Amino acid sequence: MKHEYTDVGYITLSMGIKTLHNPQTGDYIYFADAADKALYQAKRQGRNCIVVSEDRYKKSAERC
């Protein structure tokens, strides 16, 4: 999508994704923190990047 007010001339998107498998026992603070960390990891990777936060013991998946 074109956007005249950006330095690259179009809109880019970076996303941080985290899923909650069992909302009944979910640790919502951890959930929000993991999604936030994934978002900022995506932003550090560059434009149009998606980072999916896995569980606490796995490495995050990245697609840039």
Tens of pLDDT, residue by residue over 1-53, are: 667 777 777 778 888 888 877 666 667 888 888 889 989 988 898 878 888 88
pTM to 2 decimal places:
0.66
Q: Shortest CA distance to 56 belongs to which of 5, 24, 23, 21?
A: 21
- The span from the first CA to the last CA of the chain, in angstroms, equals 18
Q: Quote the CA–CA distance of 29 and 14 in Å, as a whole number.
A: 22
Distance separating alpha carbons of residues 35 and 37, to the nearest angstrom:
5
Residues 45-63 have a mean pLDDT of: 71
Tokens 């994704």 belong to: 17
- Check whether 57 has a pLDDT greater than 60: no
pLDDT at 60 over 60: no
